[in-house]
Structure 1
Amino acid sequence: MQSIITESLAKSHSYAQYRMIISSLLKEGKSTGNEQSDALTHYSELNEVRMSRLDKTMSVSDENRKKLQNLKKEYVWLVISEGWCGDAAQIVPIINKMADSRNIGTVKIELRIVFRDENEPLMNIFLTNGTKSIPKLIVLDKNTLEVLGDFGPRPTEAKQLILDYKATHGVIDENAKTELQKWYLHDKGLSTQREILELIS
């Protein structure tokens, strides 16, 4: 596993680079990932707008900022993502804000992002119920690259929303995705912040 993590980190991107790659591909009418379709490009375009909005409006709560400032260890946060993923568009900007030293006043967290389809061996280690669900945050000790835990693909309450919807309707359709996006809007990233901090505290 250590060698796979090391290889993935060698191919990883900063948040700014991740956003730039997605934007550049959209200018060519493409999405990230191995599969290309009009639907995936459409989702990527929606997500580009979402991420830009969240970059401007999302903030780390004062309480959570203090917890981040008081971290004793230094971490690498390695995120598996793709530009077309609706959950990633909601969660990766929050993770970026949590890791950003300008927000927490100290450099304790280095954020690196990899694309799922380019890092299949890594993804296969961190499956969710046997599926390649993203985003997936892998928390690493910066000095040893030991895996300390992982989070994703969505907060517990959002997971439950989707499970309940599928139990009622038998399928995850566009309406389910709309309900999920409404949940994210209402939650304002607080569940993601709380669950990640619980993971590393």
Structure 2
Amino acid sequence: MKSIVAKALFNSHSYAEYRKIVTDLLTEGKSTGNEQSESLTDYSKLNEARMNRLEKTITISDAIAEKLQNLDNHYIWLVLSEGWCGDAAQILPILNKMALVSNKKIDLKIAFRDENDDLMSHYLTNGGRAIPKIIVICKEAGIVRADWGPRPKGATELMEKHKREVGAIDEKIKTDLQLWYLADKGISVQEELVEIMENIKYNRL
């Protein structure tokens, strides 16, 4: 497992690098990942606009920032993602801002899912390769301490309720999910991740 994580870290990107890769591919009419289609490219274009907006509007509360700054150790958040993923577009700008306010306690790294099949296979969600998936690595110990994803609990419950009632993921649930993220304003992601990080803090190595 250590070698798989190390390989993914070696091939990972900063947030700015990730954004540039996605943008450059879009100028060629492509999306990230092994599969290429017009719909995936369209989703990637939509996600570009979402991320640009969220970078301007998402805020990290002073309370969350203080908790991140007071972590006992330094961590890497290794995120498996792809440019076409709607959940990733909603979540990555939040992670980036959390890392920026953490006083270097958090180092955000992003790896493409389809380039890291071995690692993705260790972090399946109900047997599926759902993203984004955040893998929390303690820098000092060099080990994985926790993981989170692909979406906050409230968004997960919304999706599961729709699947029970309708039996499939359709355009309505995609729209409802984006509206949920808009109303939530990134608060659930912040609170859930801080809870995970504080659990690590109190359960010392």
Query: Is 1:12 the equivalent of 2:12?
Result: yes
Q: Report what 1:175 is aligned to.
A: 172
Structure 1 gaps, min length 5: none
How far does residue 59 in structure 1 lie from its aligned partner after superposition?
1.0
What percentage of aligned pairs have identical amino acids? 57
Deviation at 1:143, TM superposition (A): 2.0
- From 112, 116, 134, give the equivalent of 2:113: 116
Q: Is the 8 A contact 1:155 1:195 kept in 2?
A: yes
- For 1:159 and 1:16, how far apart are their aligned partners in 2? 28
Q: Please state how far the C-alpha of 1:144 moved relative to its aligned partner.
A: 2.5
Equivalences, count: 198
- Give the counterpart of 2:125 among 112, 125, 128: 128
The equivalent of 1:30 in structure 2 is 30
1:161 aligns to what? 158
Measured in 2, the distance between the counterparts of 1:8 and 1:200 equals 21
RMSD between aligned residues? 0.7
- Aligned position for 2:66: 66
Query: How far, CA to CA, are the matches of 1:141 and 1:188 in structure 2?
Result: 28
Question: Structure 1 stretches (4+) deviating beyond 3 angstroms?
Answer: none
Q: Secondary structure at the match of 1:125?
A: coil
Instruction: Give TM-score, length-normalised by structure 1.
Output: 0.97
Q: Aligned partners of 1:144 and 1:79: how far apart in 2?
A: 19
Three-state SS of the structure 1 residue aligned to 2:91 is helix
CA distance, structure 2, for counterparts of residue 146 and residue 135 of structure 1: 20
Gap regions ≥5 residues in structure 2? 199-205
Q: In the aligned structure 1, how far is the partner of 2:142 from the partner of 2:186?
A: 27
Do the aligned residues in 1 keep the contact of 2:73 with 2:140 (CA within 8 Å)?
A: no
Deviations 1:98-139 (A, max 9, x none): 111xx34x1111111000000111101111111100000000
